[in-house]
């Protein structure tokens, strides 16, 4: 790939990087989830992305085919709400990238389709203390840098930083969707685990793009 495109090698490397960082942070994700959820987010995400990384082979698929395959694997192997949500994201991204390579602008549109899929499936919006609170600012930052002519690595770095800011911003929020919403005001003061895992995914993209 050049600095302004996503190819099959980067897509595979991104999935491998997600699996590695989820493995590294799975206990932290579970700790976050134990405070306001079912205490299984880290285990579930680790199982799903480990399965996805093992499935990503060397066949010369279009970029999108790899990511659709990842999404399908997450839906079938991740428990709770995370499987359908993350699975729908990767399937939506993949369906927009039915080409051998994708430009940064094309990848922006694919990320936007991913966010739309979460909003539709989860019926959540920014401020509800969900993964959207990390994903939406990440997409906005990515798009802003891409529109300004930045290459993939620079856009991905901006997205990762914005995702982490969004993740931290969930701590003072009261959850309005998902399992955490049952806690009402008791959800305040705890970081959302879905926002945390979303930030890991965008950071893995930034680190992968930076080394290509």
Tens digits of residue pLDDT in 62-99: 889 999 999 999 999 887 778 899 999 999 999 999 88
Q: Which CB contacts under 8 angstroms, 24+ apart, belong to 39-44?
A: 40/79, 40/80, 41/80, 41/82, 41/193, 41/194, 41/197, 42/193, 44/78, 44/79, 44/80, 44/82, 44/83
Tens digits of residue pLDDT in 111-159: 999 999 999 998 888 999 999 999 999 999 999 999 999 999 999 999 9
When the pLDDT of each residue in the chain is averaged and rounded to a whole number, the result is: 91
Mention every residue, 6+ apart, whose C-beta is less than 8 A from residue 173.
127, 128, 129, 133, 187, 188, 192
Distance CA 60, CA 170 (A): 40
Given a contact cutoff of 8 angstroms between Cβ atoms, the answer to whether 174 and 129 are in contact is yes
Q: 0.85 cut: is pTM over it?
A: yes
Closest to 18 in 3D by CA, of 169, 179, 165, 156: 156
User: Phi/psi of residue 110, each to 5°?
Assistant: -65, -45
- Give the chain's domains with CATH numbers: 5-210 (1.25.40.340)
Match 């002519």 to its residue by tokens: 149
Match 């800011």 to its residue by tokens: 165
Please give the pLDDT value at position 123: 85
Given a contact cutoff of 8 angstroms between Cβ atoms, the answer to whether 200 and 48 are in contact is no
């Amino acid at each position: 790939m050049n600095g302004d495109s996503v190819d099959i090698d980067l897509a595979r490397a991104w999935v491998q990087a997600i699996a590695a960082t989820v493995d590294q942070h799975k206990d932290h994700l579970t700790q976050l989830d134990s405070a306001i959820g079912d205490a299984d987010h880290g285990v579930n995400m680790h199982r799903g992305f480990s399965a996805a990384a093992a499935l990503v082979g060397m066949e010369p698929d279009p970029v999108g085919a790899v990511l659709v395959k990842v999404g399908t694997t997450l839906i079938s192997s991740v428990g709770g709400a995370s499987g359908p949500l993350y699975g729908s994201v990767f399937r939506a991204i993949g369906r927009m990238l039915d080409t051998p390579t994708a430009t940064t602008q094309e990848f922006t549109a694919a990320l936007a389709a991913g966010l739309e899929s979460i909003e539709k499936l989860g019926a959540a919006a920014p401020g509800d203390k969900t993964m959207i609170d990390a994903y939406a600012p990440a997409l906005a930052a990515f798009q802003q840098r891409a529109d300004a002519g930045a290459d993939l690595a620079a856009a991905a770095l901006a997205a990762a930083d914005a995702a982490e800011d969004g993740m931290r911003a969930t701590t003072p929020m009261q959850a309005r969707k998902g399992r955490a919403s049952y806690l009402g005001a008791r959800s305040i003061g705890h970081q959302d685990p879905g926002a945390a895992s979303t930030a890991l995914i965008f950071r893995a993209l930034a680190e992968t793009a930076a080394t290509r």
